Structure 1
Amino acid sequence: MPYEYTSVSLSDEEDDENYESSKEYNSKEVTIYAIDCRPSMLEADQNGDIPLLVTLKSTRAKIVDIIDSRPNDHIGIILFGTTESNNPHNKGHIYILQQVDLVDASRIKELDLLINNVNLIKDRYGSSDAVFPFSDLFWVCSDLLVNASVNQYFKRIIIITNNEDPTGRNAQYRKAAIQRAQDLKDSGTEIILFGVKENEDAFFDPNLFYSDIAAFPGNDDKQEDESDNRILSSIGNLKDLFDRIKTSQTSARSEFRLPFEIGPNLTIGVRGYNMVLEQKIGTPKYYFAEGEQTLEVTSVTRWKCLDTNAFLTPIDIRKAYPYGGEDIIFTEQDVAAIQTVNNPGLLVLGFRDIAFLKSHYQVAHPYFIYPDESPEKLDELGNQIDPPGFQLIILPYADEIRQVPPHAEVQDYQEAADTMKPIIHTLKIRDLINHKNMIQRAALDTEPEVPVDNCVPNYELIESTLSNEIDAFKRLVGLDTLSSQDILDNQAQAQAKKRGANTSSSSATASSEGQPSKKLKEMTIAEHWKNGTLEMVTNPSLKEFLTSVNIHPKKLKKDLIDQVDGYLKVKTEG
């Protein structure tokens, strides 16, 4: 039986209310770091490392990573095992260092202050070996989550300690702590332990307490109701703590959850995951200084009536489309009906042989479709075993496939790929990392480093270390037989083909009297309209023209051209 692939239709209207309601509720997260501050956490180990200091550095690194990757997530920090108390119910030995909120520069600077002098924790908050009701810690965490109004967030509590039994073998404390932890888990809060062994030969027994409130690798009975965001608790040496905290919260998050219609009256629920996603620089934001604070600028868009110069309210604004010299008014319901082709979901359109699927059709990253009804299965180390799903590859439109440049037939593609690998690995560009580092230094008032412009090719490195590999690759793919002029000619042909009708229309700009045509830059908007070359006018020029005739310009070029066309038609006919 030949392999087959499925053609599916993905309805993805982001403005549709039904689509919004089908998104995952846990797109944002709130994490509370509960850090043990008992005296043993302040004592250096055999390698000279202080557990509490490594914990603070690890937490800071994770917070900085969250700013880059998930800026809308909330973070809170609680110190326990202190002598001082700072919480709403005056629970002893629990100090709220940072409330649950978005991360900003001031919160990172507060951590930096403690990292630079870890003894400040003992001086300011104290350190105590006193046994207290550990359920109090969960009560304080619960209060933070409630007061932060993060009901729709995925909630997580991470406990970092080297104490394997915080209840001090007190049966009453143990029972109360387990019950309160279970209440938090029932309300959707995940509890994770990062247990720190005091030295290489030390033993941290989770069965004394923590195995009753957190999930560990191989503990199957604790995993059956966990979501795809689960992080398993772990125990290890201090030197591993940094990596374990920094790599936490990197589990797969579903991009969408939709119904999958396989056939008539046969629909299952699936989740879609992005397995590979390119890293991009985020949208820039504007800030202003007010005293010692740096605040984000809040932008407000308001519309004015050209006739009365009065501000318009939403009920005064209507959506319209120019047609036949008139504006056809649409209501919000009309626009929604036009945009909605079908209910959100995946729909099987048919089946074709896999031979029709070419490798160069994959111009975008695929989605991994996963049955919503099945939890994943893990091995004893917490790794997933053969996920029950399939890859969803988005097929391109014809104009998304570029013309193949001149080339010779390649006899061994694998050999060519292996030859290119050292070239790719050597010439890595780290400009995105430099961009983030410069922003962090500006926000945290640290000394800036002179950035290295990695966009400039390192010709000396290329010549000294990669010349043989480049020559071998060119020979394998037939580029050694092509001249630079062949490549330029091919590029010119591709551009001419893409322009299509525009190229022919631009050559027909002479007037009907046979006079020479003007240069495009010298033509007015009306002359472009008359000669059918409005497509070659820039958006700013079109908007400037529309504004000059008291027409509010739209955003897309097609709409701008329609506005100009409608105006000049009416003016000409009048």
Structure 2
Amino acid sequence: MPPYDDWNNIDEEEDEELQDPSVYETKKDVILFCIDCSDSMLKPYDDPQYEDVQTCHLFTALEAAMQIQKKKIIVGPNDSVGILLFNTTRKSETSRSQGSEIKRNTFLFQPIGPLSAPKVQEVIQLLDAAREDPDELRKTFPPLTHGRVPMGDVFTSCNWVLRDGAPKTASKRVFLITDEDNPHPSTSSKQLITSARTTLIDLTQAGVTVEPFFISTEDKPFDVSKFYSSVLLPTNLEDEDELQQDSSILPESISISRIEDLLSQMRFHEVPKRALFSVPFELANGFKIGIKGYGLVTEQKKGSYKYFVDLGDRMEVATVKTTYVDEDRQAEVDKTKIVYGCDQGAGGTEEDEDGEEAAGGAGARLVKPGSRPFFTTEEIRSFRTLGLEPGIKLLGFKPRSELAFEDNIKHSQFIYPDEMSFSGSKRTFSALLRSMLKKDKIAIVLAMTRRNSTPIFCALLPQDENVDDSGWTEPAGFHLIPLPFADEIRSAPIQEGFRASDEMRDAARKWIDKMTVKNGTYPPDSYPNPALAYHNAQLEASAFREQYDPDSFEDLTEPKYESMHKRAGSFMKKWKDDLANDNSANLVVATTGSKRKADVSVDEAEIKSKYDSDQLSKLRVDQLKEFLKAKGQSVSGKKADLVQRVSEWFDAH
């Protein structure tokens, strides 16, 4: 995956739609790991992976933070990470410029700063020492024995650390890791709850998102209703009055039943939710609300190669710059002065004395000097945008049944209200969503999401909030589905095939049910692209100067054949035997017709005219080979060799 800065480098000649730089206002990502260091987090237990080894929750949390840092060095080298521990008696030894005002019994282990190999190796060395001595973490970060740090002070410390170390334009997040569901069991807990909620609001108003990871075990289950449901801010579309009545709503929280799953849960939240666009949504003339759009499907690619300059003592990245040069003056041309024109054929031809076109100029058109139309950059932009400004305009409503499956020909986007653009956007958006869900309607809109994109008609498909058994939540909002034009859809030929019998279907259903994905969902973050993961693993080893063992790489997408055959092997064998005895499975439908070969024939007179006008290079390779084969010449070599051979043949004849 390329660094975030590279996402803004656009080749304007190849990109269809020039991008609006305001989309990428938050180029960098900042994560502050806020980890509880209380006595329960340091309680030792047997490591599930290694025999005769003791570990603790704090060790697993630090190891997960280290793994996230190692991955971000490869996929986001411009990001920043910090680690803050609370409920410890160790005092901070930081300077005034890095979180020096953090509250008592909180310790800034790593200030917010750019990722680097020495910074990660510091955590690795601490974890290695903790593996050899289980009491190492307790010695390094002594837990608070009496009482606990108020969560309001924890959020305040996070705010100060991020304020001092994080860039203003970065997306800032706090990963809160704790196993204590009631940090304030005293009688003054109500005041502490109010203080924690107030400081959390201050934190969110500074642009910081808090993503909690609650550790729950059999001995100590985590109950969010004791404290955190009253503190953490909900992010659903309910009205504020309803939220006050029901204070148990706690979205965006992760309850971890197995501490070993902490890293996998963090990877779900590792990539920040960056909005692709932020535009107004016009519901009627003069009535607008603010919305943000998010992409649900994104392809992850390898980072682009860079050029380096060897300066002797160091290597510097070479800056790539594209310039336009006037061939006549051999001087750089100002990009703003470049105009665009349409290609009008082969150009004008010379005329003879009688004013008639010379031979070979049939079909060419003369253009008088100064009469060819040219357009400026702004005019070209207006052709594309039709003079519209970015935004979404509501045109009307249709029944839900009017949206067919084949209408979705491109990736849809998910829109959500933006209260910062227009006050009341969340309430209005929620009312529209509820009404459309109740009436089973979709909306037809005219959308232009970027300043240089083309306006398209889209369907708004409402989605209600849904929580499944696995705890995964589908947020409430609209799917923005681009609708196709008439010439983008072709009717598929309808062919009736042979259908399996009921016995065959029942036999197949038995082994399919045994191999169904757990909970009926496929988490893509749990199965990374093996080619990309292998590439990143080698880069990671190179960055930390480690010896990489290719045999240690595990392809998580490779099917687990042994468990599959153990669970469904007998059913698959029976279904395979039934399939072999089914006569309808052995029938083959005869097809008629054959694939038509491309027409490579070319007239010798046409090739002669290309030779006379020195345009042989415009012929295709297959046409050149066909001509040479007809003349008994060799057809081997590249296109330049073929052109040279044809030219030599005409010279000799």
What range is the shorter-chain TM-score in? 0.5 to 0.7
Q: Is the 8 A contact 1:36 1:161 kept in 2?
A: yes
Q: Is the 8 A contact 2:411 2:481 kept in 1?
A: no
- Corresponding position of 2:219: 201
- Corresponding position of 2:108: 96
Q: Is the 8 A contact 1:58 1:246 kept in 2?
A: no
Give SS of 1:41's match.
Answer: coil
Find the partner of 1:160 among 156, 171, 177: 177
Find the partner of 1:333 among 378, 401, 407: 378
Following superposition, the deviation at residue 305 of structure 1 comes to 4.8
Residues 477 and 433 of structure 1: CA distance in aligned 2, closer, same or farther (over 3 Å) = farther
Question: Given residue 299 of structure 2, which amino acid in structure 1 is its aligned partner?
Answer: Q
Residues 167 and 78 of structure 1: CA distance in aligned 2, closer, same or farther (over 3 Å) = same
Q: More displaced, 26-35 or 345-354?
A: 345-354
Query: Is 2:92 the counterpart of 1:85?
Result: yes
- Corresponding position of 1:45: 45
- Corresponding position of 2:447: none
Give SS of 2:340's match.
Answer: strand
Query: Is 2:146 the counterpart of 1:145?
Result: no
Give SS of 1:441's match.
Answer: helix
- Corresponding position of 1:31: 31
- Corresponding position of 1:526: 615
Find the partner of 2:268 among 233, 242, 247: 247
Q: Cα deviation per residue 1:207-246 (whole Å; 9 max; x = unaligned)? A: 776455325899x9799599xx962264755345444434
- Corresponding position of 1:76: 82
Q: Is the 8 A contact 1:431 1:453 kept in 2?
A: no
Following superposition, the deviation at residue 193 of structure 1 comes to 3.5
The 5 Å alignment of 1:264-413 reads 272-275=293-296, 277=297, 279-286=299-306, 298-307=319-328, 309-310=330-331, 317-321=337-341, 324=367, 330-341=375-386, 342-346=388-392, 359=405, 362-368=408-414, 373=426, 374=429, 384=473, 387=476, 389=478, 392-395=481-484, 398=487, 409=497, 411=499
Q: For the aligned residues, what is the CA RMSD?
A: 6.0
The 5 Å alignment of 1:12-27 reads 14-15=17-18, 23=23
Question: Given residue 409 of structure 1, which amino acid in structure 2 is its aligned partner?
Answer: G
d(CA) in 1 for partners of 2:609, 2:136: 73
Q: Cα deviation per residue 1:489-536 (whole Å; 9 max; x = unaligned)? A: 75x44x85xxxxxx4xx5334216xxxx4899x99962356x7x7999
Following superposition, the deviation at residue 57 of structure 1 comes to 2.3
Find the partner of 1:111 among 103, 123, 128: 123
d(CA) in 1 for partners of 2:241, 2:399: 43
d(CA) in 2 for partners of 1:470, 1:253: 52
d(CA) in 2 for partners of 1:223, 1:73: 38
Give SS of 1:34's match.
Answer: strand
Q: Is the 8 A contact 1:259 1:269 kept in 2?
A: yes
d(CA) in 2 for partners of 1:413, 1:523: 69
Following superposition, the deviation at residue 480 of structure 1 comes to 5.9
Question: Given residue 299 of structure 1, which amino acid in structure 2 is its aligned partner?
Answer: V
Q: Is the 8 A contact 2:29 2:272 kept in 1?
A: no
Following superposition, the deviation at residue 51 of structure 1 comes to 1.1
- Corresponding position of 2:202: 183
Following superposition, the deviation at residue 54 of structure 1 comes to 0.8
d(CA) in 2 for partners of 1:453, 1:509: 58
Following superposition, the deviation at residue 333 of structure 1 comes to 3.0
- Corresponding position of 1:438: 538
Residues 358 and 90 of structure 1: CA distance in aligned 2, closer, same or farther (over 3 Å) = closer
Q: Is the 8 A contact 1:82 1:125 kept in 2?
A: no
Q: Is the 8 A contact 2:279 2:291 kept in 1?
A: yes
Question: Given residue 43 of structure 1, which amino acid in structure 2 is its aligned partner?
Answer: K
d(CA) in 1 for partners of 2:542, 2:315: 12
User: Which structure's CA Rg is the greater one?
Assistant: 2
Give SS of 1:144's match.
Answer: helix
Q: Is the 8 A contact 1:160 1:193 kept in 2?
A: yes
Give SS of 2:550's match.
Answer: coil
Question: Given residue 444 of structure 1, which amino acid in structure 2 is its aligned partner?
Answer: F
Following superposition, the deviation at residue 253 of structure 1 comes to 6.5
Residues 293 and 214 of structure 1: CA distance in aligned 2, closer, same or farther (over 3 Å) = farther
The 5 Å alignment of 1:505-516 reads 507-511=601-605
Following superposition, the deviation at residue 41 of structure 1 comes to 3.2
d(CA) in 2 for partners of 1:413, 1:271: 50
Question: Given residue 30 of structure 1, which amino acid in structure 2 is its aligned partner?
Answer: V
- Corresponding position of 1:481: 588
d(CA) in 2 for partners of 1:34, 1:369: 30
- Corresponding position of 1:57: 63
Give SS of 2:172's match.
Answer: strand
Residues 268 and 299 of structure 1: CA distance in aligned 2, closer, same or farther (over 3 Å) = same
Find the partner of 1:213 among 190, 207, 231: 231
The 5 Å alignment of 1:213-232 reads 213-215=231-233, 231-232=252-253
Residues 143 and 264 of structure 1: CA distance in aligned 2, closer, same or farther (over 3 Å) = closer
Question: Given residue 92 of structure 2, which amino acid in structure 1 is its aligned partner?
Answer: S
Higher relative contact order (CA 8 A, sep 6+): 1
Q: Cα deviation per residue 1:158-196 (whole Å; 9 max; x = unaligned)? A: 222345566795969947655433321333433344343
Give SS of 1:336's match.
Answer: helix
Residues 231 and 350 of structure 1: CA distance in aligned 2, closer, same or farther (over 3 Å) = closer
d(CA) in 1 for partners of 2:326, 2:602: 40
Residue identity (%):
19
Following superposition, the deviation at residue 55 of structure 1 comes to 0.6
Following superposition, the deviation at residue 32 of structure 1 comes to 1.2
Give SS of 2:534's match.
Answer: helix
Aligned length: 487
Following superposition, the deviation at residue 337 of structure 1 comes to 2.5
Question: Given residue 365 of structure 1, which amino acid in structure 2 is its aligned partner?
Answer: H
Give SS of 1:127's match.
Answer: coil
d(CA) in 2 for partners of 1:93, 1:399: 63
Give SS of 1:282's match.
Answer: coil
- Corresponding position of 2:435: none
Question: Given residue 534 of structure 2, which amino acid in structure 1 is its aligned partner?
Answer: N
In structure 1, stretches of 5+ residues that fail to align are 1-11, 497-502, 538-574
Q: Cα deviation per residue 1:426-463 (whole Å; 9 max; x = unaligned)? A: xx984344333333333333433437999xx99x99xx
Residues 125 and 329 of structure 1: CA distance in aligned 2, closer, same or farther (over 3 Å) = farther
Following superposition, the deviation at residue 33 of structure 1 comes to 0.7
